Chains A and B, each alone.
Chain A
């Protein structure tokens, strides 16, 4: 009996289990998946929670409901991977041997990495929205907030869902406008990047959207600490940004057991081949989804396209055949821009987000790098697709690799 062990039953791990179980004979293959939390959150929904868009109950389902028959789900905390012995130890003393290991334990916000965040002001004047607790606490705060300077600060890249901070600020602007508070609220986006986004064409479009909405941009800002007593951010080059309300996107790091096992980079993400997710260090360990150190966005769409490529590759790999599929870093992200509109971006390792139509060239229904109502509805409907199509591993009629069809390249120079 061969053993496939998956660490993490989040978006990527659950899809791997659902894709591979029907393809691996149960007489020959045991599939076990380990997680420490019973609840699967629809993380893209956290963004809407502070503005009253969803409640907690809308965004959570039991992980067990998404496990196919024939997959052994173990609830437990992972202590250590021992690659030399091909086994994983859990904190409760259980040892899980494997022939192949898939690390899919994601990345998470670490407020304790930044001086000042781990203070009494946490969830009083300083909030995150990438956790269900943070998003809920922020919703309560906004209900009664009387206005002032709201700073949104990305501390360090990479973060998961790198467009969400921008979406947050667009939604905040629309939220305060709707409440008639535009005059009482000043919004400022504080980012370590040189502009609104990482890729030049999208950064220009998004930068213009910030300007239209009179949202301040503090770029190239590397935060050193938050002075919660005086309500200000202080950067390494000693620039100070004052706030009345701070929404922070803390440093994102992979799981600590990855670091303890000697498998992580300096942010505990696992270095892997960017085209097939095989660990640089061990030929029977893969890392997929946010857990992997890949030069593309950490996002559910990336995990989805990656799992499509991984599944076919893995079936060849276990037969001793070369892995033919080459992942291209494909990411596809809706960007809510407020007032019932949204944008869409589609890109990969080599091609930055460009204007055009998606997925059907010239037709859409979605428009790339342009604000439309259809894009907003795409985002709204995506929640249903996530629970009912993506997580169960059903086919979505979108190609895993990015296509240039329908995109309008910018003239060079």
Chain B
């Protein structure tokens, strides 16, 4: 674990730069993390990010793309447009939750 300064705040991150403390996140930090990977957040992005954070808090794990699509109501195709190439990884990175581990 390491500490990084993002949007003026000190946060704990893992070796890939994913935040490890759910409570350290803020919307400003989210915007800054998005900027780091070249994404300018729109309302459509925020709808997804809010769902990811709420669902993580309720379920204790990062939602899969299928879950964001089925439960969060954002079609997978749109997720690929909002978070190009690797939506699952990018969504969780910006939302300050662990990378989805769904794959075993």
Q: Which residues of B contact A236 (CB under 8 A)?
A: 76-77, 79-80
Residue among B64, B67, B101, B104 with max Cβ neighbours from chain A (10 Å): B104
Cα(A266)–Cα(B67), bound, Å? 6
Mark contacts of B60-104 with chain A using CB atoms, 8 A cut-off: 1 yes-contact digit, 0 otherwise: 000011110011000011011000111000000000000001111
Say how far A397's CB is from chain B's closest CB, in angstroms.
26
Q: Is the CB of A266 within 8 A of B80?
A: no
Interface presence of A162 (CB below 8 A):
yes
| A157-B102 contact given A222-B65, A265-B67, A266-B71, CB 8 Å threshold | yes
Is A158 a contact partner of B102 (Cβ separation < 8 A)? yes
Contact, CB under 8 Å: A224 / B101: no
- How near does chain B come to A333, taking the closest CB pair, in angstroms? 12
Given contacts A266-B66, A267-B66, contact A237 B84 (CB under 8 A): yes
Interface presence of A220 (CB below 8 A): yes
Q: Closest chain B residue to A199 by CB distance?
A: B104
Q: Which residue of A lies closest to B76 (CB)?
A: A236
The contact of A266 among B70, B77, B103, by CB within 8 Å, is B70
Contact among B71, B76, B102, B103 for A222, CB-based, below 8 A: B76
Q: Using A162-B104, A266-B66 as known contacts, list a sample of 20 further A-B pairs with CB atoms less than 8 Å apart, ordered by residue number in A.
A: A156-B66, A157-B102, A157-B103, A158-B102, A158-B103, A158-B104, A192-B103, A193-B103, A198-B104, A222-B65, A222-B76, A224-B76, A236-B80, A266-B64, A266-B67, A266-B70, A267-B66, A295-B104, A296-B104, A297-B104
Across the interface, which residues of B come within 8 angstroms of A199, CB to CB? 104
Q: Which of A191-232 contact B (CB under 8 A)?
A: 192-193, 198-199, 220, 222, 224
| A contact set with B: CB distance below 8 Å | 156-158, 162, 192-193, 198-199, 220, 222, 224, 236-237, 265-267, 295-297
CB pair A198–B103 under 8 Å, yes or no, is: yes
B65, B66, B70, B85: the one contacting A237 at CB < 8 Å is B85
- A83 → chain B closest CB, angstroms: 20
Question: How far apart sit A265 and B101, CA to CA, in the bound complex (Å)?
Answer: 16
* Complexed CA–CA distance, A265 and B55 (Å): 13
Q: Which residues of B contact A296 (CB under 8 A)?
A: 104
In the assembled complex, which residues on chain A have CB atoms less than 8 Å from the CB atom of B79? 236
Do residues A220 and B86 form an inter-chain contact, with CB atoms below 8 A? yes
Which residue of B is nearest A294, CB measured?
B104
> Which of the residues B67, B70, B77, B85 comes within 8 Å of A220, measured between beta carbons?
B85
Residue of B nearest to A238 (CB): B80
A206 to chain B, nearest CB (A): 14
Instruction: Report the minimal beta-carbon distance from A237 to chain B, rounded to whole angstroms.
Output: 5
Give Cα distance in the complex from A193 to B99, angstroms: 13
In order of increasing CB-CB distance, the 9 nearest A-B pairs are: A236-B80, A157-B103, A198-B103, A266-B70, A266-B67, A266-B66, A237-B80, A198-B104, A296-B104
